[in-house]
Structure 1
């Protein structure tokens, strides 16, 4: 039996155990906020203990534990591969809107239901089992494999991946990173847009609405401000050559649209502006003296935070009484790894070969619309790649994940990791 076949046989033999683990994980409340992941971390630690894999916990906040597990290959020094997934998920929202209990873990029509099953309880579980499988075959491997299972991803990662990379760098930095956030089976993500969150406060005199000439309306100023901010979406990015060449390919554009919806190929390469909250006014017949907007700018590769902030400052200066502040100062830029990196080749080849009826055409490399913890590794120059299940339903009511995709993603990561760790010595 080939090593590929042996690895796949190990994973196939544990399908029931894999689904049972994912069900139990789905039934644990890890909504962030509040972000308490202690019970979920216990589930992962118990699994690692049973597998005989060394691990330890780093908890800069008591209710936000992060697990580091790792092993050395039996064939001596080699590459250091890091696997990364998170425990926390989006809040449930309006429970009454759900047809099933958001933490049911129910299985119906080949899908497992529950909040966070897509983002990213299925992906973190897939990495756990891929990691355990590699551990069983460790005598055939060179180098080191590290698994990081973190908290706080949904609220920025300060107490999760960012903390680990600052305080446990020698253990978790590695030379390449695999992550299984939902990407869609048709795409492998080699980069991502960045978030720039701004709060605008508009203050004017206000007064009685019958006398608009005496005090002005903060809400009217806000309406004009929003129109000017939306024009930032027309900024043209200066993409690196390899990124531009990759994203220009028709098959890449088609894969992005297939995985992320019609229009995704265009959104991937421009600024998007979302006015997330507006708070202004006291009463219908009063001129609002204050209005507060919170705006989420997503910047593509090739447009810097500084460039957008400069444009915003110009716009704000044109609107009386307007000031703004950055909510996440010092955040990362839009970031990419080399789309021609060896690991990208392993992921594309393995995903295409294993997909069967799940994919009509070969997967393609794209840039992510949303953020993941891989940005922290890219900021340190470490190549990082994302391959996961479909993002459809992520964070929505009645979230559920395809079990066929769950098993597929697990196999792709296990085989791509194997290829990367063994190719260095071949």
Structure 2
């Protein structure tokens, strides 16, 4: 072939020619249970490993903790060219009550153009897409001028400690750019995420007989009500959003108005600290004044405020109440983070969404958090783009359109060429 564009179009057509094989791969992934918890990835990693070996790819297993396996494979020539990472997680959230599903959550069936089952959108369709892309490049013996690494991780749905950060900290994977095939909108990959601040607050009181309340004892639940009222004031903070990220925020608000139109009322989450009082437990019985109460809170942080500033705010407000308390962090921890849309990996994905679909594409901000932060912590530009029916993620009757799986896979394979051949003369 004489040019990059010709190679790209050839590979896009190869995806089209073999789309039934792509969908079958995604279906097979759904049929393999990989709920986290418990997080045992043995069966699904074994399947992916054999799939890659069948096309001649070399693989390496890395057990981060008991039965949680990271699988890594690399193709291409290491001759000073760029190194691209395609990443996806193999675990899914629990299926829950099977009686509330309209179909078997591990069926992997295709019905009326939809692929059905737990993980269809988050993210076994995206995972299948990057695996299929990687395997097809290997099978066709495409002479890449750089390297493409496929990283399959086991532990995203419970915080990711034994997945992406585990690999990066040990330098098992390294690269100049990364795509995570997480669910996204059809034309809008995710370039940034809000920060995450989860904490437990335990408030103490003094027990006594319930018949003497409020004159006796010190009711921990009442103290917690007052504490919660102060915690909720995080939402009211006037955040000074840095100028450099304002274009991304404005594009994301446009996205919420014009694409996910049901999200239009929620535009303010992009520049406010959200506060979810997710769990509460306190007291012993109704006729006893409770001596302790505990809540778990999930806050998501916009640009312009740090975890340290949130901690200081909370202590100031709680101290002013004169109550005895303990505040403990747990779970996801990060400040808001993003990748510039001028980075080559971002341009490669966005440009090829338009190339494949003929539709305007642009990157947006995610109001939640993800594994992308770990790559940014290691100075690797990253974005997320994957097939999804967004309303079904983590719910019953999860599904994804077959046409979206095929479209994303075409973007994945075209982006490899644009990214790795960027400075190459063919």
TM-score where L is the length of structure 2: 0.92
Q: What CA distance in whole angstroms lies between the structure 2 residues aligned with 1:423 and 1:264?
A: 38
Residue 371 of structure 1 deviates from its aligned partner by 2.1
Count of aligned pairs between the two proteins: 416
Residue 117 of structure 1 deviates from its aligned partner by 1.4
| Other-structure match for 1:128 | 131
Residue 157 of structure 1 deviates from its aligned partner by 1.6
Aligned pairs (5 A) from 1:386-401: 386-390=384-388, 391-401=390-400
Match of 1:149, SS state, is strand
Match of 1:196, SS state, is strand
Match of 2:264, SS state, is coil
Q: Is the 8 A contact 1:243 1:339 kept in 2?
A: no
| Other-structure match for 2:295 | 293
Label 1:134 to 1:382 Cα distance change in 2 as closer, same or farther (>3 A).
same
Q: Is the 8 A contact 1:87 1:150 kept in 2?
A: yes
Residue 136 of structure 1 deviates from its aligned partner by 4.0
Match of 1:199, SS state, is strand
Unpaired runs of 5+ residues, structure 2, are none
Residue 294 of structure 1 deviates from its aligned partner by 0.4
| Other-structure match for 2:34 | 30
Residue 100 of structure 1 deviates from its aligned partner by 1.7
| Other-structure match for 1:366 | 364
Q: What CA distance in whole angstroms lies between the structure 2 residues aligned with 1:60 and 1:346?
A: 32
Residue 150 of structure 1 deviates from its aligned partner by 0.5
Q: What CA distance in whole angstroms lies between the structure 1 residues aligned with 2:198 and 2:212?
A: 35
Q: Considering only aligned residues, what root-mean-square deviation do their CA atoms show, in Å?
A: 2.0
Aligned pairs (5 A) from 1:47-126: 47-73=51-77, 76-126=79-129
Of the candidates 40, 43, 49, which is equivalent to residue 44 of structure 2?
40
Alignment of 1:254 with 2:254, yes or no, is: yes
Q: Structure 1 stretch 140-149 or stretch 252-261: which is displaced more?
A: 252-261
Aligned pairs (5 A) from 1:269-280: 269-280=271-282
Q: What CA distance in whole angstroms lies between the structure 1 residues aligned with 2:154 and 2:419?
A: 27
Alignment of 1:145 with 2:148, yes or no, is: yes
Residue 69 of structure 1 deviates from its aligned partner by 0.3
Q: Is the 8 A contact 1:255 1:364 kept in 2?
A: no
Q: Is the 8 A contact 2:35 2:92 kept in 1?
A: yes
Q: What CA distance in whole angstroms lies between the structure 2 residues aligned with 1:291 and 1:371?
A: 28
Q: Is the 8 A contact 1:72 1:138 kept in 2?
A: no
Residue 278 of structure 1 deviates from its aligned partner by 0.5
Residue 34 of structure 1 deviates from its aligned partner by 0.5
Q: What CA distance in whole angstroms lies between the structure 2 residues aligned with 1:148 and 1:274?
A: 33
Match of 1:253, SS state, is helix
Q: Is the 8 A contact 1:173 1:377 kept in 2?
A: no
Q: Is the 8 A contact 2:346 2:382 kept in 1?
A: no
| Other-structure match for 2:238 | 236
Q: What are the superposed Cα offsets for residues 100-138 of structure 1, whole Å, 9 maximum, x if unpaired?
A: 222121222211111121111111111111122333455
Match of 1:59, SS state, is strand
Q: Is the 8 A contact 1:106 1:113 kept in 2?
A: yes
Q: Is the 8 A contact 1:242 1:338 kept in 2?
A: no
Q: What CA distance in whole angstroms lies between the structure 2 residues aligned with 1:394 and 1:50?
A: 31
Residue 381 of structure 1 deviates from its aligned partner by 1.1
Q: Is the 8 A contact 2:197 2:334 kept in 1?
A: no
| Other-structure match for 2:205 | 204
Q: What are the superposed Cα offsets for residues 366-424 of structure 1, whole Å, 9 maximum, x if unpaired?
A: 12222222211100111001112232211011111111111111111211121011112
Residue 315 of structure 1 deviates from its aligned partner by 1.8
Residue 139 of structure 1 deviates from its aligned partner by 4.1
Aligned pairs (5 A) from 1:215-230: 215-230=217-232
| Other-structure match for 1:190 | 191
Q: What CA distance in whole angstroms lies between the structure 1 residues aligned with 2:83 and 2:266?
A: 34
Alignment of 1:414 with 2:413, yes or no, is: yes
| Other-structure match for 1:177 | 178
